[in-house]
Amino acid sequence: MSPSQVLKKPRLVVMGSREYAVDDYVADFEKDFEFTVLDAQNRQEALVKLPELVKKTGPFDALIIRVGTAEFEPFDEALLGPLVPGCRIIASASAGYNEFDVEWMTRQGIWFTNTRSAVAEATADMAVLLTLAVVRDAFRAERGARSGTWKAGIVPSRDPSGMTLGIVGMGSIGKLVAKKAAAFNMRVRYWNRTRLGIDDEAEYNARHCATLHELLAHSDVVSLHCPLTPKTEGLLSRAEFAAMKDGAFLVNTARGALVDEDALIEALESGKIARAGLDVFCDEPDIKEYFRTSDRVVCMPHAGAMTDEAFRRAERECLENLRAWLQTGTPVTPVNHVVVDRAEKSEDGDTE
């Protein structure tokens, strides 16, 4: 039986920190789903309250995980197991998914979806903000103004106009960064696992680099916008920093583990990297002391997607994924692929 054949409304449970809730689309969700919010603010509470909720009210067909998941991570069998075997789809309001055990979900016959464009604009804005902050040495300038030392010890900063911005990962966020960089008269180079088409390269005025090291060697600012996978973990380490221009700048709004943080600190201390703008770190929220105290680093608390409009767009994309699954059996932006769902297996008499 396909999802569209279910006569009663599928049951939906929502997980996420209360401060990240957006109620704009609750009425829309309630049109198609029986809507329940899990009253839990962190992983420890969810580990207790989710199985209690399932036991008390019955199984759920779908789960939405709102923006702001750090308190609940990781999303693994220990946390999500109580939803099996009823749950058929899990929709995340975030773009990244390294904190989700997608392989486990696939084995359980559960679709997993992320958002592809909801947080792109906000994250691209953060990348541009950090680019300007490190290029113009905003941290030391602000500190001088606040402390009363004014311009003492401050030397002229760099001008972004004419600089080369190297974008690692030319997906939706990388493309928006390229478009925004044009306003500052920056030249754009990019490295991506798949080269863009000629028309796209022309639209974003972006020049392709065949290798990562080629991009690093030609860029004044390197901005990271690729997903964290086993292949990209530690993507920038000592060899990569050595390949960069002397006095280059690094911006990371993607995932902290893309960067070997010890190697970055060495590069900052040696002056190989002039400054870094970081919105993401390896052990959030317990970031290294160096990043918290160094005037060579501009820090943000993984806030790239934290805007009201990004949250609304994320809720909307989750809703579109659930509706598509309900109507067709397949969501709009699946991360995994469920070949045969459990209901179909049961009807066919197939067992694992």
Ordered DSSP codes for 242-277: HHSPTTEEEEE-S-GGGB-HHHHHHHHHHTSEEEEE
pLDDT tens per residue, range 202-221: 999 999 999 999 999 999 99
Q: Provide DSSP, 84-153.
A: TTT--EEEESSS--TTB-HHHHHHTT-EEE--SSTTHHHHHHHHHHHHHHHHTTHHHHHHHHHHT-TTTT
What number is the average pLDDT over the span 325-347? 78
Taking 50 as the threshold, does the pLDDT of residue 158 lie above it? yes
* Alpha carbon distance 259, 203 (integer Å): 29
Which residues are annotated as catalytic?
Answer: 255, 284, 302
pLDDT of residue 231: 95
What is the reported pLDDT for 29?
76
Q: d(Cα 172, Cα 167) in Å, to the nearest integer? A: 12
Q: How far apart are CA 173 and CA 204, in angstroms?
A: 12
- What value does the mean pLDDT take over residues 25-50? 89
For residues 1-27, average pLDDT: 70
Q: How confident is the model at residue 18 (pLDDT cuts 50, 70, 90)?
A: low
Tens-digit pLDDT profile for residues 62-79:
999 988 778 899 999 999
Whether 284 and 256 have beta carbons less than 8 Å apart is answered as yes
Q: Is the pLDDT of residue 187 over 90?
A: yes
- Model confidence, pTM: 0.88
Instruction: Please report, as a single letter, which amino acid is at residue 216.
Output: L
**Region for 85 from its dihedrals, namely left if φ exceeds 0, alpha if ψ lies in -120 to 50, beta otherwise:** alpha
89 alpha-carbon distance from chain centroid: 20
